[in-house]
Amino acid sequence: MILTGCSSVDSSDRSANSQTVDAGTPTTGALPDGQRYVVDAAASNLRILLEAEGPLAALGHPHVIGGPVIEGTVVIADPWQDSAFRLEVPVAALEVDRSAWRAIEGLEPEVPDSAIAATRENMLGESQLNAGEHPLIRLESLEITGPEWQPDVRFRVTIAGETSVHSVPVALERDGDSLTATGQLRTRFSELGLAPYSALGGGLRVADEITIRFRITGVTADAQ
């Protein structure tokens, strides 16, 4: 999933399957037959945790970036392992440092509006997500293994023109016409093919390691 601002997490659990691939790698074919769920963006959520590092890290602060921004389609197939998804995140919709998000993560809730605006401008700029040329983050499943209630999902993400492959365990629940998938991915900017934002000659920079939390809720067409 992603970003910039000013982050650091334990990287011991990050996927050994992460790898950079050619950004021009074609997507797979059409989604399989099966029960189709349309992502309910308002009921879904994305959170990216970033921290500052470097000798001048005290001049910066951690950031929480995200929002109800996930869109797309999930198909649960038969057999289960043939299930698949295609998801998108409009980068311009990403929000920065909501007070409630920061408090939940154990951070000082309030951040000056000027700092939030500067972080968002850097995040969407040409040197980072380059929202003008790459308005969407795209994700697509490549392989699903394990039981339906907690599958391991191997997927491809394309962000700011860079494509990489990752694996993440997902907790999956289906209840009538709805589906909810939750999980956490620990990765690095470098594994996403991106360079963390830095300032003051590199003395203040975003940590390479990032944590991404997600909740994806989908509903069937009949339930919409």
Q: Sketch the domain layout of the chain as residue ranges.
A: 34-223
Beta strand spans in 95-208 (E): 95-96, 136-145, 152-159, 162-175, 178-188, 198-199, 204-206
Q: How large is the average pLDDT for residues 69-78?
A: 96
Q: Which two tokens stand for residue 122?
A: 């850097």
- Statement: residue 145 has pLDDT above 60: yes
In CATH, the architecture of 34-223 is: Beta Barrel (2.40)
Average pLDDT, the chain: 83
What confidence tier does 19 reach under pLDDT thresholds 50, 70, 90?
very low
Rounded percentage of the chain residues whose pLDDT exceeds 90: 61
